[in-house]
Amino acid sequence: MHPDILSAVDDWGPEKVVCVSDRRSGMRGVLVIDNTARGMGKGGTRMSATLSVAEVMRLARTMTWKWAAVDLFHGGAKAGILGDPHGPAKEQQLRAFARALAAEVPAEYVFGLDMGLSERDAAIFVDELDSRGVAVGLPRALGGLPYDELGVTGYGVAEATDAAAACISLPMEGARVAVQGFGAVGRATARRLTELGAVVVAASTSRGAVLDADGLDVHRLDELARELGDDCVAAYGPVRPPDEAITAPADILVPAALQDVVHPAHVDALTARLVVEGANMPTTGPALQQLHERGIAVVPDFIANAGGVVAAALSMDARHSPFPVEPAQVFTMVSAKMRANAVAVLEHAEASGTLPHEAARHLARERVHRAMELRGQVRTKEDDR
């Protein structure tokens, strides 16, 4: 065992790190089960040519906090394969990975989708271990739930936005929204916010931004995005620099693309009263501090974009059922969870005077630690009396 693995173990975990390999296929992979105090370890499975054990350990820890932050009873875990997700040996390596982890799957871990894997790959895991119970993210034909097709994550971002806006007395009817990143998440967010009465005044892709103070035609832009991808903005026109979507006059900003795109210079120009992080880590640390100092409310990424996590939890329950998960059930649960969690974090941040990200992490740690106490995994004050 490489010494850096042991040095990375702390009081939270990981509980288990399983490194596996297969000479015939060239497969090398790792499963990290971080903390199961609140429930079975759950997190996606990725495939990358640059994968490292340290990366998977960090991702597993992130899942520990994410499940706890959204208050769902799973623990943190993650798995990964070192390899080319577009290479000719992919299926052989996936099958070898599944066989190598047969002792852990599905008793301690269930395969899911992350970077480099598709619904088809989830089906390969099911075929290799001959059970629908070993994976989530399956194709619809195998009883799976098409997260991206349904726009579950973006729907959740919009529901969190609506609840957060109510917290700061910002009426959603007529609220001006800027969506930075008009991919799958951004499009679904824009569609739902429009249904809730908001007006989308700016949207962007890597190719540029489109702005309209009277409101963009979200339906038309969505159709263009499905057809043309990032070039949808050019077809919609006129095109402005991408950053203008961030600083466009708006009441709400939803950064829904890449990480570290919102900088302090943007914060200086913001008119928004609310920032809802649809992407993972879209706001730099200094920008978050500056938003706090300006009194601009922020719904953290791992709260706002957890709709897919809620859907995955429902899919976990449905693995052994002959009945598919109903989309209406998913949307109802996502709405309830996203709204409650957004409000809880903003109220906790207000009461404690801390940044919302710190408040969310504090809530998550409290929940995990309490579960560890109740299970006798750590000493309590009562134990010391």
Nearest to 208 by CA among 178, 179, 239: 239
Asked whether the beta carbons of 252 and 276 are under 8 A apart, the reply is yes
321 CB burial (10 A radius; 0-12, 13-18, 19+) = exposed
Distance CA 99, CA 33 (A): 18
Asked whether the beta carbons of 45 and 98 are under 8 A apart, the reply is no
The string of DSSP letters for 5-29 reads HHHH--SS--SEEEEEEETTTTEEE
| Residues 329/133/73/156 CA torsion (nearest 10 deg) | -40
Q: Which member of 78, 90, 337, 381 is catalytic?
A: 78
| Rg value, the chain, Cα | 21
Nearest to 78 by CA among 104, 109, 52, 105: 109
Sorted by sequence, the CB contacts under 8 Å of residue 373 that are 6+ apart come out as 380
What are 155's two structure tokens? Answer: 């729907």
Distance CA 8, CA 61 (A): 11
Active site residue 42: no
Distance CA 277, CA 303 (A): 8
Asked whether the beta carbons of 41 and 61 are under 8 A apart, the reply is no
Phi/psi-derived region of residue 251, left when phi > 0, alpha when psi is between -120 and 50, beta in every other case: alpha
- Residues 314, 331, 367: CA angle, nearest 5 degrees: 55
φ, ψ of residue 37 to 5 degrees: the values are -60, -35
Nearest to 159 by CA among 298, 306, 315, 349: 306
φ, ψ of residue 58 to 5 degrees: the values are -65, -40
Q: Which residues are known catalytic residues?
A: 78
